[in-house]
Structure 1
């Protein structure tokens, strides 16, 4: 059996005719020595590659099976890097570069270059990829490896997360629109704790129930029970039945009631699950985290999973599993996440003795995918502890009000009743309704048990202060990774075009960017100038750099930037892995350099050290 590389060489010669060894090696991106080895292997298998003094050719009469490209195999650097990371970490398999080269139809040198790029691209995770005896190894802490895997899986499923557009493609658009409007109106109330994941989960399941109800031939009139007198539930059901011209069965009503209880309010006192469900869910999350090196166990994720298992167990007992028309696309989106869902279904069957359908497994995969994506989003929010004695349900009221007003800025990760509970907790801000007896090393703000406008304003100011500090710390911690003495220039170039070409060429020389980068930067400039007063921060439309670097160009006499005279240019070359922190760097730099006096002083810096010291001092 000829190797993949031999088949590639034969296919090349059949397509292009006689070629020199040198030309064949260039086209296949391998060495001339490798080409000679392929010839030897081919002829040993009676495939007859002929060679004279200067050319190679293959007999056209020979029946050679054409190479079929396996689209499931990685086709480019990004896909290969993901493939190697998942194979090595998640599957815990040996990654041998020679075997991988043969399997993926790429050269050994290409894979070595990929590993070099991976060390640049993923440097923020403090993980080093290395080769030993042609096998891939990773050096890094377990915590950092988990972060890397979460990033890879989130990036893989980013375009496959269930959203309204996905639902409209798979279900009746009118049903989707009607339910979305009804849910959004219902949760637009101060007493409701808003959460995008819960909202989407609720809409998804209501769409499925409603479309199924619409297709029923015969429906029995449901009996109204005392439990249905809750205004939100009653109003929602009445509105949907009237608008969609359907009538929900008793089973449907029970499921809707459970969905509302599980997704509208996160107060555990209003929704409880059995110890068995809670213990099973916690154990399963621990198993998934250990087996797949991801982080799923935030309080919110656990809360959501308790509810999902609760609802799933009800459906399993009544054998009323939900059909999932997105099953195949979910399975194709991320086989790894689908494997996680399969493991969850096996554990569920062992615990509760009910077999789960593939449709339900796909729903579990949706939850896991959303959790991973959500954990990346939540990393940009401030973690808050609320210290408030638990009387008259005041904790719930404060949590709902603060979470509603500052949904984009914070997440209340824990509510406690006494100061002693603070021991060993980590957070970004402590909000308390009572005075503290000890000094805390974390930021702290005191509010009234009855929130006032002054409390809200003070909290907003405190959050902004903490965010500014975290932004500064982020830039400080990465400053000498992003800024480099070799990429610091004082020059008398006076035009935007000259400066951009100069800076891009400097990045090309350091293998940070390719030739597409400069074109993307110029396209961005044609949309809107990146000049701000005395400085400019040009950047491409997409993260195109192999590593994040910010070259600095200074001309105290001024550079003509679309009619604005700037003295400092910072070119942002952002690596794709760092794209989530782009705004955390971009906005603070603009805010800092908007102080004209500081910018003018920086423009007089005669060395990188002087520039760096002054900028760090002002952060």
Structure 2
């Protein structure tokens, strides 16, 4: 029998059950890079000695003629993977209780197999306070209409991971909608009719939420809609939509759809005195205090005058949406968490404080959006504080070269400080991070070198930006290595293949940190609280467990390597860096997080690090 690892099995099952899939979707599903997906597919084909998985411009797909090469277990896995949600969706969308025997025939199950399947479905549905029962040979869904809709939306999220960008990709979830383009256009028409607009990044979420609201169930006599929206633009828009869909227009449906619109549609012309800001449902001053405390905790200094009003408005809208169960998923071609480790941690810390203050649960997708807001502000401040010193070599400072200087200053004004040099002998290497020139030169190695054309083409601009990024990364790595030499300790380095679960590893490393006098018994509970908010594993490679309170007695980082993998939430990691920082080293969070992310994203270095068994080798390879 052919053997496949868990990642390879997931790829095969996904392609068998769902058909052609883009590489970026598989990468997001597995939380790895596109390159890793391609490598795993190559290994699958090599294992089978056949081209089972092929690809074209639209994605990867299974060559059906080679399916017989797979072990029988894959057919079972794929059927279960595909049918669980399909059956549940069918039952939820049924206009009346679904006949048990007809469902068994439709999905090719025996009565006993379907009964067992219902038990499986209930284990998933119960978390939404929904239960499926068999009554009078029919399957009945019990639970509030609100919770049924939450369950249905969860099916859509689970099935698609919200990576589709075209509304047509969701047609299969709403078979009762014959023309999905018309329905989407109707929603936009209603919003425009009442002089409101919809930010483009909310469009797909809003369409799906409204379609789900109008698809699931019927109003019960004792059930009321969520939220009080009477007389608001949201209620007027909701009524317009319902009246034009042919559904009986009643207060129940109006309130449901109106709650979906809350915090998303924006009036084009706000009433006098509102300044376009959200309704004051929450304490604006309290939100501002939470933002400032989060930035202070991480020793981040930015210009708050422009950032605070915009960000506070976003949080007010977020709280109003979460109040009505209306969270959004924002599709991106990359993981915010993996690409900006430090920024994401700031966002998690802020969301924990926000959750405690307002008693709301903030989902991971919303944390990612908050990360983007914070990231823009932090990156802008970083460039301002750490300018790159550029020498632009111009032999005679001609009009063309003056043009280049002006264009470069305009393009990178927040990142660089330019000095023009018209004589190579006057070039001060000590004060130069980057030399930009139209003349061929031999760089001396003490600075970055970038030769451009007199036209300053788009390719030139890309090369300049790459050079700037290289300088920033080298600065960050230099700071990281200095921190590593100070906080890493051979007494806190472990190569342990027997420790393979998160909790066991955390207890083990915490004990050794206590033995070294770095932490006390209150430290581990704080670390676990951080993990509960959002696990600290990144890139399917390493974990960075740490406390949200800088309450360590000494700044130390314990390291554990297990090349066989450690189960950490939904991922497996090979490296764990248990971080204990005291109050004096709070500012070290960023160089530590970003430095580790940079080092461990280097695939060649990562392969070598996996085989390291002692501290001296680890430190040598880490830096070189």
TM-score, normalization by structure 2: 0.36
Q: Which has the larger radius of gyration?
A: 1
TM-score, normalization by structure 1: 0.36
